[in-house]
Structure 1
Amino acid sequence: MSAWVKQKKWQVEKHGEKKASWYAEWNEPDGTRRAKSCGTGSRGKRAAERLAARIREELITGTYQREERKTWDEFRQRYEADIKSRLRPASVRSAKEALSHLERIIKPKQASSVTAERISEFVRVRKTERGKKKKSKVSPATVNGNLRCIKAALRLAHEWGYIKTVPRFRMEKEPKKLPNYVTPEHFALMYQSAGAATKPAEAPYPIADWWRALLITAQMTGWRIGELLSLRWDDVDLDAGTAITRHSDNKGGRDEKVALHPIVIEHIRPLRAFVPCVFQWDHDRRTLDVEFAKIQDAAGIKLPCRDSGDPRHGKCTDACYRYGFHDERRAFATLNAENMTREALQVLMRHKSANTTDRYINMARQIKPAVANLHVPALSQQQLNDRSKMAN
């Protein structure tokens, strides 16, 4: 077993010795002849000599590992089969979408061709592409979401031996925005206007009661909308005041029994009927958003667009001026962060990481700054009176 340096005879004849590439060649333990080009000239020769010396040492010490030329297509097929059985459908869709964008932009042939340089190329191109809204560009948050999915895939590629190392990733800087959450005043208006909704029309109880129960439960549990719509009567104990969120329905990936506030019990009790789910919804998800928009319009809610000054935002749509269901979850965290411990809030919101809970707590502190204990400069009554006249 050995390794050596040489130039290809046909290259020397065609290009001359100075322009012919230098190669490191070696025989693998099974006798297979391998070669790698290292460039031309004296620099290429030195690189080939270094590579040959390293491979020679690995062959002697028994640490040599054969570099498999595994294709990207082979890896992706194995990866998709793996995540399909492990991840939630939404996560599988995000992963497939991110890898499809990567393939479209950098067109990898071998898995090993996905390097840090190619990832940077992917980010540069992705940032210039059109976003979902008219005249908008893909946001830094979307790019980072793609990168997280790609990085997770490449970690498995490394574990499975498709690549030697996971390339380094540079995430895009995202603007630090204050959270959008349903304020108590707006919640009261929506609660009062719940009768503006027209679905679920087939329910054996008033539509307004259904929506009021949904809004109250979302506001007072912090559950995601998917968890609420999946909540089954079999998992609710009205007398004990508890409900179980199942691992198949939440992002925490675990079953958890949660105590419900008496107000929540009071609102969901009238919905008890011969249907499997508490919030039985036999329409698509888009229709739910449309009905929620009707309630907000009837309540006279029109929020300022938080991204109107962002050149990547594009043309505003009606959704820019309304709340989404996740804003109810943010309201739960923001309005309760100062009234409970970090650990209690993490349990109630079912965050896997305490860092996620900390972000909600920090946002709550920004919204509710502790100004009550600030030093107030001493002012004379005359100065206060003068200030009052100027204000008027």
Structure 2
Amino acid sequence: MSEEIKVHICRQKGRTNLAMRYVDPETGKQVWRTSGTANHTKALKAAAVWEAELREGRYQKRQRMTWEAFRDRYDVDVLDGMKESTAGNYSATLNVFERTVAPQRLADCTTAKLTAFVVALRNQHLSAATIARHLRQLKVAFRWAHRQGLLLTLPQFDRIKQSKGARGRAVSGEEFDRMLAAVPKVVGEAAAESWRFYLRGLDASGLRLAESLVLRWDDAPDAIVVDYSGRHPMLRVDASAEKANTHRTLPMAPEFAELLETVPMDQRRGRVFQPLTKDGQPYAPTRDSIGPVVSAIGEKAGVIVGTRTKVDGDGDPETVNKFASAHDLRRAFGFRWSRRVMPPVLKELMRHTDIGTTMRFYVGVNAQATADELWRAAGSKLGSRGENEPFAKSGQST
């Protein structure tokens, strides 16, 4: 390891300047370098500087691990022990890095190379959130390589500034009705009811897309199970099936429990949601197959929740509408319940690891709705105005 390196000085025959040498702990071979001086004291100082560089990883001549060898080792030592979906995300990020900046050796992963990577992603008009996610996963991988002594110098990661707001918004009740009405136009009449049930389930449960695809009536590995063993229906979550990676039993929203009650007893087996193709066959329960269909339904219904940047056929950026997705139905669930329960309860309903996430996205996001609730609770119409008419008093300042 680099901390074992000791640089010595010596005089070589026929040379004026003193030489420096150390034994490479990986190869066992001696590595030589001139000190640039014949003065013993100055040579000792030069040796100390070189030794510090070697030990701290600032001198990288000896680092020869190829990028391909690093990928192979990281796959075996790290990714094989991760949840499949998580490992897939890390592997995808490393693939993007590889395609974008083409590192030949692990030592090529420098701060300058990361900067070039970020610039390239920005030129592709990827969102700040996507770029930040790639950098987070690269940071984890490179820190592991650094701890293993494979990467001597850990590159510096600049923080990507992101918008503090959500990248979508809650779908209103009227918009949700439009989505339900648009279902047959996207999936066909034969599959329409299975998709309406799925959309109602997302809206009533607040489940993330990936969570909804592993929701089951019965036990299975990596599943979220509908549990009727207690006083109220609950969700029993296996650690591998949830973003927080924790075994938990969580409350189920009453509206979702009522929806599940509509399913006949003899059909309560396997996956709760089984949306069908136009041919009447079950869709593969993956985000890549289900997510785009939900977004297509949102587009057909004309439910616009924001904008995004994409690259057109000429390679130029253009701003296009972002239509309602599965996560926007989760946002609608969170917004509705934020008006009914206190933040700690909402945190459990939304299955957030940190209450800060709950506070940031769901509490206090609509001051006018909060004000309406206050005036309604007070039973007073004092100061009430039309929907678009502001409230003001003579002499009042802000």
Assess same fold via TM > 0.5: yes
Q: How many residues align?
A: 344
**Contact between 2:128 and 2:162, CA under 8 Å: does it hold in 1?**
yes
Structure 1 partner of 2:86: 91
Q: Which amino acid aligns with 2:206?
A: G
Matched, 1:330 2:345: no
Greater mean deviation of Cα atoms: 333-342 or 116-125: 333-342
**Contact between 1:307 and 1:313, CA under 8 Å: does it hold in 2?**
no
Greater mean deviation of Cα atoms: 144-153 or 89-98: 89-98
Distance 1:186 1:156, change over 3 A: same
Structure 1 partner of 2:302: 301
Matched, 1:246 2:238: yes
Greater mean deviation of Cα atoms: 288-297 or 73-82: 288-297
Structure 2 partner of 1:133: none
Q: Which amino acid aligns with 1:252?
A: A
Structure 2 partner of 1:236: 226
Shift of the alpha carbon at 1:194?
A: 5.2
Shift of the alpha carbon at 1:123?
A: 1.7
State how 1:1-392 maps to structure 2 within 5 Å: 3-4=8-9, 24-27=20-23, 32-36=29-33, 50-54=45-49, 69-128=64-123, 130=124, 137-178=125-166, 179-191=168-180, 198=187, 201=190, 207-208=192-193, 210-234=194-218, 235-237=225-227, 240-272=232-264, 273=267, 275-281=269-275, 282-284=282-284, 288-289=290-291, 291-292=293-294, 295-296=297-298, 300-303=301-304, 305-307=306-308, 314-315=317-318, 320-361=321-362, 364-368=363-367, 377-379=392-394
**Contact between 1:126 and 1:143, CA under 8 Å: does it hold in 2?**
yes
Greater mean deviation of Cα atoms: 308-317 or 261-270: 308-317
SS at match of 1:226: helix
Greater mean deviation of Cα atoms: 143-152 or 190-199: 190-199
Q: Which amino acid aligns with 1:213?
A: F
Q: For 1:272-316, what per-residue CA distance to the aligned partner results, in whole angstroms no more than 9, with x for missing partners? A: 416511112421456645653565466x43426424799999345
- In 1, distance between residues paired with 2:338 and 2:217? 29
Q: For 1:96-134, what per-residue CA distance to the aligned partner results, in whole angstroms no more than 9, with x for missing partners? A: 232233334444344333222222222223322x3xxxx
Q: Which amino acid aligns with 1:279?
A: F
Shift of the alpha carbon at 1:355?
A: 3.9
SS at match of 1:99: helix
Shift of the alpha carbon at 1:153?
A: 0.2
**Contact between 1:231 and 1:245, CA under 8 Å: does it hold in 2?**
no
Shift of the alpha carbon at 1:181?
A: 1.9
CA RMSD, Structure 1 to Structure 2 (Å):
4.4
SS at match of 2:236: strand
Q: For 1:207-265, what per-residue CA distance to the aligned partner results, in whole angstroms no more than 9, with x for missing partners? A: 43x44433333223321122112211113245842232333322222333233234323
- In 2, distance between residues paired with 1:174 and 1:57? 38
SS at match of 2:304: coil
- In 2, distance between residues paired with 1:308 and 1:352? 30
**Contact between 1:199 and 1:291, CA under 8 Å: does it hold in 2?**
no
Q: Which amino acid aligns with 1:190?
A: M
Distance 1:313 1:237, change over 3 A: farther
Structure 1 vs Structure 2: percent identity of aligned residues? 24
**Contact between 2:21 and 2:32, CA under 8 Å: does it hold in 1?**
yes
**Contact between 2:169 and 2:305, CA under 8 Å: does it hold in 1?**
no
Structure 2 residue ranges without an equivalent (≥5): 1-5, 55-60, 219-224, 276-281, 375-382, 384-389
- In 2, distance between residues paired with 1:313 and 1:330? 32
SS at match of 1:306: strand
**Contact between 1:3 and 1:27, CA under 8 Å: does it hold in 2?**
no
Greater mean deviation of Cα atoms: 24-33 or 223-232: 24-33
Q: For 1:50-100, what per-residue CA distance to the aligned partner results, in whole angstroms no more than 9, with x for missing partners? A: 4402567999xxxxxx96643333222111123433333333233223223
Structure 1 residue ranges without an equivalent (≥5): 60-65, 131-136, 381-392
Q: Which amino acid aligns with 2:393?
A: A
- In 1, distance between residues paired with 2:234 and 2:28? 68
Distance 1:111 1:47, change over 3 A: farther
**Contact between 1:24 and 1:52, CA under 8 Å: does it hold in 2?**
yes
Structure 2 partner of 1:386: none
Normalised to the residue count of structure 2, the TM-score between the two structures is 0.69
Distance 1:371 1:262, change over 3 A: closer
Q: Which amino acid aligns with 2:169?
A: N
Distance 1:200 1:158, change over 3 A: farther
- In 2, distance between residues paired with 1:336 and 1:90? 29
**Contact between 1:24 and 1:36, CA under 8 Å: does it hold in 2?**
yes
Q: Which amino acid aligns with 2:121?
A: R
- In 2, distance between residues paired with 1:6 and 1:109? 37
Shift of the alpha carbon at 1:329?
A: 1.6
- In 2, distance between residues paired with 1:120 and 1:292? 36
